[in-house]
Structure formats: structure tokens, C-alpha cells
Amino acid sequence: MIRALSTAATGLEAQQANIERISNDLANVNTDGYKRSRNEFQDLMYETVREAGGSIGAGSQSPVGVQTGMGVKVGAAHKIFEQGPARMTYHPYDLMIEGKGFFPVQRPNGEIAYTRNGAFHLDAQGRVQTSNGSLLIPQITIPNNAMNVLITAQGEVKAVLPGGQESVLGQIQLIAFPNEQGLSAAGESLFQPTLASGQPLQGVPGEAGLGAVMQGALEGSNVNVANSMVDMITTQRAYEMNTKVMGVADQMLGATANIK
């Protein structure tokens, strides 16, 4: 009975983690390059009161045992790297990855991070960087006399200079990970590698399973509002039911205390 109380408490904790996850997804429904997350629950250990297959004498075994579970925990919470919808912006430095891959960027503190939010801007020196000042790797500098900037699907950056000649400014590289779900989200649409994600694999867009780059478009958030709302309803009800179990356990304790 005391166990039912704590079991219900684990349920409340798990459902609360779920509602926090849903609220973060819904808050980021308009965040470019945002990836929705998923919580995976796992049942906790079991107390085996009686072993299944234990001997009950005369050479026969008990066909079933008695096992009581201890509740639930959040086993994993990870991002789902499903492609988000394309949003056409026609801005020359807005890039979208169609398929797998991340843009490598160097954060102002020198750390390397990876993003799928391709809303790039120029700084005073013409260097391509994200809106929070992380420079694209390899560094690409747009000359200030460039009339037009073209970025091909393979990630080649070209500028049209006065006089009409084209000059190749650089090549955008994309990064893939053996296990992208192992990346740790660093906020600001950035992801950082962990031991679980494996080593970054560099490549040219459109080759070796990497996605192609599309200029003038942004990848919207892949949060599905309808699914999130359904999740919210079921989570809320699941939470309620666990509180009901708590109420019952409490009633039972109260009744026991009042026997005398």
C-alpha cells in the first residue's frame, strides 16, 4: 500500500517530465531548425515475491510467479531529427538542408557546435555567421562588392562581382553523426557532440547520404501541433489517474489507521 503511493509518485514524475517536454515543443513551434523531442518511459525493477518455475514439490514447477513492479522512469529523452517543413524566404543567406546533415559553426567562445538553423547573416567583415554570432566553418567571407551570392545544392558559394565575373568563395561542408539522437541540445538551435553521438563525419552536401543545400529557404520547426495536443491530453489524464491511485492509497491508509 505504501508502495502504491510511491509507484503513483513515479508515474506523476514521468508524466510531469512529459508535459514539460510537450510545453517546450509547443513553445518552439515557430523556431527555425528546432527538432521536437520524445520521452521514452521504462518500467522500473520488479520485486519477485515468488519465482515463476520454482519447485512446488512432487517434481512440478509453479507456472507463474508473483512480481510487483515499482513504477516508471524516463528512460530516454531525445530529439527526433525528422525533416521540418521548408519555409521560402528568398533571402540569399537563408540555407536549408534537404536531408541529413548539420552546418558546423564556431561559437563565440571557440567551441564547435552543429545546427540545422540555416538563417545566416554577415558581420562587418562579410563573414557568414548565425544570428547569435557563431561563424560558419569553413569560414566564408563575402566581398563587400559582391552583387549577388549564389549557393548551389552542392554547397558551393559563388559571388557575382561587378563586371559580371563569378568568383568561387568557398565550399559549405555538412556534418553527419553515426547517432544523431545522441547529440546534446545546447540551445539556440545548436547541438553538441557527445560520446554517444560518435565522431562527426564531414562531407559535401548531396553526397554520401548527406542532404543538399537549398538557398532562400529555411527549415521550420518539426513540431506537429496536433500530435503535441493529443500527447498533452493523454499526459494530463495519465497524471490525473496516477493522482487517483495516490488518493486511493491514502484512503486505504486512513481507513487502516481508523480501524481502532
Partner 1 sequence: MASGLWTAVSGASAQSQHVDMVANNLANQDTLGYKKDLPTFKEYLSVLEREPSALDVPRAPIKDKDFFPLDGRDQSFVVVDGTYTNHRQGNLRVTQAPLDLALDGPGFLEVSTPFGIRYTRQGSLKVAMDGRLVTTEGYPVLAAQPGGLAAALPVTAVQPSQGGLPTQGGVAAGQASDLAARFINLADVGGATAKISISQQGELYAGDQLIAKLGVSEFRDLNKLKKYGGQLFENRDPENQIGDGTQKTVVRQGVLENSNVNPVEEMTNLIKANRLFEHDLKAIKTFNDMLGREANDIGKL
Nearer to partner 1, 20 or 51 (CB): 51
Asked if residue 195 binds partner 1 (CB under 8 A), the reply is yes
Which residue type, as a one-letter code, is found at position 55?
A: S
C-alpha dihedral sign at 97, 102, 106, 109:
positive
Q: Is the separation of the CB atoms in 120 and 136 below 8 Å?
A: yes
How wide is the angle at C-alpha 126 spanned by C-alphas 124 and 130, nearest 5°?
85
Q: Which of 120, 177, 189, 215 forms a contact with partner 1 (CB under 8 A)?
A: 177
Which stretch in 36-44, 88-96, 107-115, 117-125 sits in contact with partner 1 by CB under 8 A?
Answer: 36-44
Nearer to partner 1, 29 or 253 (CB): 253
Asked if residue 139 binds partner 1 (CB under 8 A), the reply is no
- Closest approach, Cβ 70 to partner 1, in A, equals 7
Q: Which of 137, 142, 176, 213 forms a contact with partner 1 (CB under 8 A)?
A: 176
Residue 199 parent element (H or E):
none
Q: Where are the beta strands (DSSP E) in the chain?
A: 37-43, 46-50, 66-69, 72-79, 86-88, 95-98, 103-106, 112-115, 120-122, 128-130, 135-136, 148-151, 156-160, 166-171, 174-176, 184-187, 190-192, 201-203, 212-215, 217-219
Beta bridge partners of 96: 214
- Closest approach, Cβ 194 to partner 1, in A, equals 6
Asked if residue 200 binds partner 1 (CB under 8 A), the reply is no
Which stretch in 130-138, 146-154, 155-163, 240-248 sits in contact with partner 1 by CB under 8 A?
Answer: 240-248
Nearer to partner 1, 138 or 178 (CB): 178
Residues in 45-74 that interact with partner 1 by CB under 8 A: 45-46, 48-53, 62-72
Asked if residue 182 binds partner 1 (CB under 8 A), the reply is yes
The Cα–Cα gap between 72 and 184 comes to 24
